Amino acid sequence: MTSRKTAIVLFNLGGPDRLEAVKPFLFNLFHDPAIISVPQPMRWFLAKLISSRREKTAQEIYAEIGNKSPILENTQAQARALEAQINGMTDQPLGEVRCFITMRYWHPMSDETAAKVRDWGADEVILLPLYPQFSTTTTGSSYQDWMRAAHKAGLKAPTRLTCCYPKEPGFVAAVADKIHKKLAELEPGQSNNLRILFSAHGLPKKVIEKGDPYQEQVETTVASVVNYMAEKAIGPKELDYQVCYQSRVGPLEWIGPSTEDEIARAGQDDVGLVVVPIAFVSEHSETLVELDIEYAELARENGVGTYLRVGTVDNHDDFIGGLAGLALDASNWENGRVDCQKGGYCCGNQWSGCIRNS
């Protein structure tokens, strides 16, 4: 008797696997209509222009971390951990589980992964983004591209998507534990003059104004982590913290406050900083270079005496357990169902960009 097969497809951004891949990676990024929403052929020309202009600077960034992005290897480790966790359960309903990875802007991309899922003979597909907070520019874009590729590949297995999980208990617990362990590295009393910066990737304001729920979901995650820390009595009794946004580029107005401005404010307020990546779940250029190198230097320039960076959740047991719970819950939905209730969140009707409302 053939056992049931469930493919769990992890969505992530992707990154160049060598310096020569930087330019095509950037082209794929800026050619995405979710990133630059102008019609063709203008979008193609803009993507060509921007990727050419930014190639050298981006190559210098990746040269700081071994001439490539580590995001694929890190995502593969998460996939193996999730696969082992679910297949190790004795009473799970998914049958044989295999985790696949699809990256939005560099390999493995949707077309090649959809073909692999089809060839494996999956009876069911669960789409699980490694973006805890939904945005049209991340999960929304990846979902649309996956459905296109699945149709092209003839992949007809019932498919379900967990669209977001900003308050998922395992994710929240993992972030809080990482903060707690970083604070434990401090000398006694040193934590009394610290501010925690929860830093997320920024977006242009116009994206949020069009109904994208990302910013509200980031703030929901931060509130959940802060509440968890208070309930568990971990961290300072009076927690000084701030939500902020990094990676601003281009002339558009972006959501704020910016991480750079908050670092400068910490210098003015004479407080140390503990920086927490709150929207990234694995290490890549924006944590290893932007947070660890560029912002650390900015902190020194602004007289910030203590600058600590909390690692991403990676393979934390609580996070992987939370992902497993999301996948198991998704198996109960109808084909094509999109949901986020297991993650403890559901967008209100005011967020027209939410995939449930669009």
Residue set of the binding site: 201, 286
Neighbouring C-beta atoms of residue 135, cutoff 10 Å: 25
d(CA 159, CA 334): 9
Q: What DSSP string describes 161-226?
A: EE---TT-HHHHHHHHHHHHHHHTTSPTTGGGGEEEEEEEE--BHHHHHTT--HHHHHHHHHHHHH
Residue 270: DSSP 8-state: T
Structure tokens at 291: 């947070």
Neighbouring C-beta atoms of residue 153, cutoff 10 Å: 18
ω before 70 within 30° of 0 (cis)?
Answer: no
User: Helix crossing, 71-87 with 317-330: angle to 10°?
Assistant: 60
ω before 257 within 30° of 0 (cis)?
Answer: yes
User: Helix crossing, 141-153 with 110-120: angle to 10°?
Assistant: 50
- Residues within the annotated binding site for Fe(2+)? 201, 286
- The residues, ordered by sequence, that sit 6+ positions from 286 with a Cβ below 8 Å of its Cβ are 201, 246, 247, 277, 280
Neighbouring C-beta atoms of residue 277, cutoff 10 Å: 26
d(CA 273, CA 277): 13
- The residues, ordered by sequence, that sit 6+ positions from 164 with a Cβ below 8 Å of its Cβ are 129, 131, 132, 133, 134, 139, 213, 217, 340, 343, 345
d(CA 74, CA 14): 11
247: left (phi over 0), alpha (psi -120 to 50) or beta: left
